[in-house]
Amino acid sequence: MTDIVDASTRSRMMSGIRAKNTKPEILIRSLLHRNGFRFRLHVNNLPGKPDIVLTRYHAVIFVHGCFWHGHECPLFKWPGTRPDFWREKIGRNRTNDHKAREALLVAGWRVGIVWECALRGAGKNIDSVAQRLSEWLRNNAQLLEVVG
């Protein structure tokens, strides 16, 4: 079985340090920027510290790594070691994600979640992700989830 992550990502995962400014996130930012959207980053005073905040559209966007956020998709695989540690950690991340999303919706924010698997791997259509985000930002839907 081949690893889905490179060596440095793997060592960061194993050390339990969560990445900021991950590649999928940078990709989403540049897609938004190219489509004329302006935004703020890592807003600490909102639930869940959303990666991207578009005040004008009353929208926040999370770019979720499938490993860290326990996505049920082909990119997710339980590490072979320290099963209890990872189950606890990823379980907690999922619980926090859920709470943050509910709190944001209750506060009137619109919440977009782009999963890493929508962006990574063969045959992924990045432009269609950009288009879905653009359309969502301009309509009034409360929730958008983009998966691979």
Site residues (vs Zn ion, CB under 5 A): 66, 71, 73, 75, 115, 117
Shortest Cβ 40–Zn ion spacing (Å): 25
DSSP string of 67-101, one letter each residue: TTTT-SSTT----SS-HHHHHHHHHHHHHHHHHHH
Which of residues 26 and 73 has its CB atom nearest to Zn ion in the complex? 73
Among 35, 65, 43, smallest CA distance to 136 is for 35
Question: Smallest distance, Å, CB 148 to Zn ion?
Answer: 6
Starting at the edge strand found earlier in the chain, the sheet holding 143-146 runs 40-41, 52-54, 59-64, 110-115, 143-146
Least Å distance, CB 67 to Zn ion, is 9
Q: How far is the CB of 4 from Zn ion (least distance, A)?
A: 11
Please, which residue, 66 or 104, has the CB nearer to Zn ion? 66
Q: Which is nearer to Zn ion, 72 or 127 (CB)?
A: 72
53 or 66: whose CB is closer to Zn ion? 66
Residue found under tokens 């956020």: 69
User: Bridge partners of 144?
Assistant: 112
